[in-house]
Structure 1
């Protein structure tokens, strides 16, 4: 094969929707992809040993005080970390937790863990109880953790878990600026700095993994109950990273590699695939924006100067980030920005307009989920389709089906709404339900059938482009009538004062549930719930879908990774419904809406003279979990 043909096989042109089918004309096996994530790093080091792979800032306020690694230096550190872990008993199927915010050492640390064993990145913001449960489920005894100087809260939390006997080995990461203070280790736990151990090792590592081995286990984005653990193979990760990197829109016109801004946490699949692995495949530079990333208030005062200084070509974030950026004065030359990517939740049209008008940078939607490895659809600068999350990525496939009560699937015609299915090489290996002698016990738990992943998202496909319309579980069922909350939300977003909206079901004694809506207002805008209810009543919404009430709130709740968190709104709606139902019952002291194990319920607190029979009778009118606590 000639050099030109080899380049075309690895990196076909991918800039328009029509390129998808053309790319698929070449079998995926002919794309000459690395088999494992370690081989991604090794190939990058062989091709561009002196090229800068990553730049890390201590925090957003000190963005000029960066430390960098070339691809050659990165491989050297990955080798040494992997060898140090192997020396301490980590085998190819050994799970190693990673609980730390972004820093210079986290990237080679995570890649070294995946080279030696299996990475289990965990959000340090999870409760101690959730962390313990996830560690036990995955069989974790080794953990890479933030030092007290990098994140004191994380260190304290993991130390507590280790002291309780759930961890044997802790490997500390330093902050990017190298600050190091004295550490008090938990009793009977081996504690050392990971890169001190790595410095004693040699370069060179014999990769023990194959493409089908488990590379990492990610907890899902839910915040109710204990999150699930989704296992991804090396092939899942490499293929998905290649599909992301194949996007040629970020590439500059000359031979200089693009620079990517990284500010999402590496415990999330977007950061690992979009910002870590994909750039390595193309020799692109990543600028990591400190431990807090987009959560750092100082970031928003410096962001445009950061983009100008590093000539950032693109970035990836959630809609709430772009809503804030639309209000940050552009005080630098950001002409290097070719586009920005948004995902994780629906993009309100008002946010798109505000960001693009403010910056002149196209905002492209994408779509994916942890169980699909990361990305499954993308939009195009050349063919913008506002309101769509894009067209499927090559070698991945979509179906839209109607799910019958017995669980069977029936394909629906193009343009009709149904449940979105994803098939192809990025469908995950299964959820970790335990650990056996040979490694993880995996189970798809009904999410995958005949290779098709049930995303749980409602969507329609028009001309190959996917339009999300809501979550299947978010359907509001009013007296047996299915109501798509997206229709209500779109109608409310059409009001000039509304920035975003979320519709949920409120328990109702007569209809089971009725729709209610929560909205946030655009900066400087004013309106009232009554005005919004009048506005929605005059819309084209069917009568059954018109919300019973509209509540104005400061911010719509989201998970730690920016996904909409409607359970919190459903709990609030349940509280309001029960408060209204009990308004004439004397002695009721309070009603609290709760979310437990993925469901919504209420707790009613009563006084000594409350008519308990009347309270229970009112509660029994609702199909709602409830508890009465007498004081």
Structure 2
């Protein structure tokens, strides 16, 4: 493939039309993630590919691999997996914090079969369900030295497994701890078992573009997270769309600290650098969750000449308060996504460091990234322009009709990165996909509210399901959140609907504050009331929390706040009646309230009061015999 075809100019928003004048099929992208790695190893065998830090405290003692080293280790891992019974349509589960061995294990799983990364922070019940849904009988997991809690979880899942391959910490030396015998399960250290297999090539047939490469779980904390399937073509094309960025050449070094069970870590900081032979420096097993990292961060940037990094807004909020104690002139830009970027965080970080924050947008069902911004062409309020060869449009949330630029509706995406579906089972041919999640004609319904400007930049305004509907009037929670985030003491804000007997629901908000803040909920109600664009959107209450709830995969979790708002609203109405305890929980994606009545409570009056709300409510009466 020629460099001219593979690397068109992509430095600003005006380059998109010229890029797409050449069909994507003519650009000669590698067929699979394995073919991408092989290409890198042939082109730059002795160039550093990955450098993994054991921890923040030991960042000067990293473990490094060249591209040739990485390919050889991927071959060993894949050949071990193949010898363990893994075929092209078999899933390999991986459950471990980041470490040097996890990178080749993940790529080896995609070469031999299908990688199925797991977040060890999920409940054991969810992990069991995900293993069964994927069909994985082989688990690559952190051992007792690397992450004792993860190791104990892995042992608890042994009944679901045939093979347990154990990882050691980055830079581990000496004899590892002896591993226990588990009935019916082959248990061993991955490095030792893989050493008996060939490093020069893969013993099986390599994957094709349409073969499944990975299964990523996505979703909230209710029910089982869904498994989104990615093909090799999905991942390679999305990685190329990121790598085609003309601002970083092949000498650039990127920093990686997000966990490899997250698509951003795989696509942005592992696969995309393979295209240009860029060096990726990986943080220790806790990544951005390691407090000690922030005290060393700028020194790490200077030492490794980090040119780009990727993180969520909360990381940049913390870094804004870390003194810049090193030369960070090498850092060209910092990518941010996964949740809305408060203006105060953007302005604070850029003023503190001189580094531009570049927003992006994506979702697991579209592989990873679908829009990006340009450091030299900022667009206020936009998360970016669509990536080459992806299509975006905004449709009416009810009729589905296309909406013109400037109008808000549901964002839809089509193109080569849209996933083939969620896993719903398994048959003799491998995972069975539902093929859902798309609109007519292959368009993915993102569930995000957005508008497009005249130049095709995406402006997100919230989640369609998060709309607050007050008396039939739609209120975008983002307008309330933006008003609250403008307060100097507010660090995060989330607005939801609270049940109301007259209007159906009214807006309320939850916030977190800077340490030592003096602002009260009443202060913030007044502040927002003066700044929201319409009276109907003024929050009726603002509650201050230590932290806003997030899902098991780290995304904002408004359902929990809606449940709290429901409990508060109903408890307020029932309080004068006496003898009632209110609770509200999330069940199957919906808020369900429960009223627990003491024997002396007036059940008829309680039922009548609750009947004025459009909320599912259970009434439970405690009889004297039930008392302890």
Q: What is the TM-score of this pair, normalised by structure 1?
A: 0.95
**Matching residue of 2:121:** 125
**Matching residue of 1:419:** 410
Q: CA deviation at 1:250?
A: 2.8
SS in 2 for 1:15: coil
**Matching residue of 1:339:** 333
- Which whole-Å CA distance do the structure 2 matches of 1:216 and 1:509 have between them? 47
Partners of 2:480 and 2:532 within 8 A in 1: no
- Which whole-Å CA distance do the structure 1 matches of 2:335 and 2:606 have between them? 50
Root mean square deviation, CA, Å: 1.6
**Matching residue of 1:553:** 545
**Matching residue of 2:591:** 600
Deviates more, 1:525-534 or 1:564-573: 525-534
Residue number among 93, 100, 105 corresponding to 1:97 in the alignment: 93
Q: CA deviation at 1:609?
A: 2.9
- Which whole-Å CA distance do the structure 2 matches of 1:615 and 1:540 have between them? 35
Q: CA deviation at 1:536?
A: 2.3
- Which whole-Å CA distance do the structure 1 matches of 2:50 and 2:235 have between them? 19
- Which whole-Å CA distance do the structure 1 matches of 2:68 and 2:381 have between them? 42
SS in 2 for 1:248: coil
Aligned length: 617
- Which whole-Å CA distance do the structure 2 matches of 1:604 and 1:172 have between them? 48
Q: Counterparts of 1:27-46 in structure 2 under 5 Å? A: 27-46=23-42
- Which whole-Å CA distance do the structure 1 matches of 2:147 and 2:574 have between them? 46
- Which whole-Å CA distance do the structure 2 matches of 1:43 and 1:516 have between them? 54
- CA shift digits 1:187-229 (9 cap, x unpaired): 2211111221110111211443110011000001422221110
Residue number among 594, 600, 606 corresponding to 1:615 in the alignment: 606
**Matching residue of 2:107:** 111
Deviates more, 1:135-144 or 1:68-77: 135-144
**Matching residue of 1:209:** 207
Q: Counterparts of 1:320-469 in structure 2 under 5 Å? A: 320-404=314-398, 408-462=399-453, 463-469=455-461
Q: In 2 relative to 1, CA 60–207 (structure 1 residues): closer, same or farther, beyond 3 Å?
A: farther
**Matching residue of 2:493:** 501
Structure 1 residue 539 corresponds to structure 2 residue 534: no
- Which whole-Å CA distance do the structure 2 matches of 1:347 and 1:599 have between them? 27
- CA shift digits 1:449-508 (9 cap, x unpaired): 311000000001112111000000000111211111111112222333333321100111
- Which whole-Å CA distance do the structure 2 matches of 1:330 and 1:561 have between them? 30
Q: In 2 relative to 1, CA 149–608 (structure 1 residues): closer, same or farther, beyond 3 Å?
A: farther
Deviates more, 1:455-464 or 1:174-183: 174-183
Partners of 2:229 and 2:421 within 8 A in 1: yes
SS in 1 for 2:577: coil
- Which whole-Å CA distance do the structure 1 matches of 2:80 and 2:476 have between them? 53
**Matching residue of 1:155:** 151
Q: Counterparts of 1:223-238 in structure 2 under 5 Å? A: 223-238=221-236
Q: CA deviation at 1:181?
A: 1.6
Q: Counterparts of 1:479-518 in structure 2 under 5 Å? A: 479-518=471-510
- CA shift digits 1:580-627 (9 cap, x unpaired): 122112222x43331222122233344343333333333333222333
Q: CA deviation at 1:298?
A: 0.9
Gap regions ≥5 residues in structure 1? none
SS in 2 for 1:62: coil
- Which whole-Å CA distance do the structure 1 matches of 2:452 and 2:446 have between them? 15
Q: CA deviation at 1:280?
A: 1.0
Deviates more, 1:423-432 or 1:321-330: 321-330
Q: In 2 relative to 1, CA 182–592 (structure 1 residues): closer, same or farther, beyond 3 Å?
A: farther
Structure 1 residue 573 corresponds to structure 2 residue 565: yes
Gap regions ≥5 residues in structure 2? none
Q: CA deviation at 1:445?
A: 2.9
Structure 1 residue 191 corresponds to structure 2 residue 187: yes
Q: CA deviation at 1:561?
A: 4.1
Q: CA deviation at 1:87?
A: 1.0
Partners of 1:38 and 1:207 within 8 A in 2: no
Structure 1 residue 52 corresponds to structure 2 residue 48: yes
